[in-house]
Chains A and B, each alone.
Chain A
């Protein structure tokens, strides 16, 4: 079945960097657009980044543009989120998401927690 497994979260100091990975299985990864969505503790959902199936188009939320970048390795079925200049308000659970019908956020991973703290 379709599975997304995030990894790479952890505790990082303000101003630091971190790279998240999302390993995909159970579907043809190279055919699907993907997103990253985050959720601060006790808060709602916030879209973070988008990448087209072939990596030719990327888009970011204003709050992370210029600090985060998204990429994918279709030969390894892995989605990445590279985060730099991290701030305390970047503390959140980060989910990778597979796009589904009509572009909906169809399948979600279990998330990886990023904590930005001195």
Chain B
């Protein structure tokens, strides 16, 4: 499964809403789709799994949606700490591929 994320870079201001897209080359069964956040010099952090379930401790400003081949990560009101790189990933079966990432930068 190839995951294509768009846009590659998203420039927004704090307080704005961010919408990140992840499109799969084939249907992801069971919505086994996750989103991760990675800040410079840090390991990735799980945000969303099962396409829409927030991981423990993740603020409700983050929400995931979608099914089949089209998935979205939405950040409702951007805070300064949200500017990072975001990856989607499927974990149905190996190889457990990741998208190429969307860089969310401060405008």
Chain A residues at the B interface, C-beta cutoff of 8 Å: 35, 37, 44-47, 50, 59, 61-62, 95, 100-111
Assuming A101-B53, A105-B36, A110-B43, is B100 touching A44 (CB within 8 A)? Answer: yes
Chain A residue with Cβ nearest B91 = A103
B10 CB–A CB distance under 8 Å:
no
Known contacts A45-B44, A103-B32, A105-B36; A35 and B96 CB within 8 A of each other: yes
Q: Which residues of A contact B98 (CB under 8 A)?
A: 44-47
Closest Cβ of chain A to B67, distance in Å, is 14
24 residue pairs from A and B, CB less than 8 Å apart? A35-B96, A44-B99, A45-B36, A45-B101, A46-B98, A47-B95, A47-B96, A47-B97, A95-B43, A100-B46, A100-B49, A101-B49, A101-B55, A102-B30, A102-B49, A103-B32, A104-B46, A105-B44, A105-B46, A106-B49, A106-B55, A108-B44, A108-B46, A111-B43
- How long is the Cα–Cα vector from A14 to B30 in the complex, in angstroms? 41
Cα separation A38 to B89 with both chains bound (whole Å): 14
Interface size grouping (class) on chain B:
20 to 34
List the 8 shortest-distance A-B pairs measured between CB atoms, nearest first.
A104-B49, A108-B43, A47-B96, A45-B98, A59-B94, A104-B34, A103-B91, A102-B50
On B, residues with C-beta under 8 Å from A are 30, 32, 34, 36, 38, 42-46, 49-50, 53, 55, 87, 89, 91, 94-101
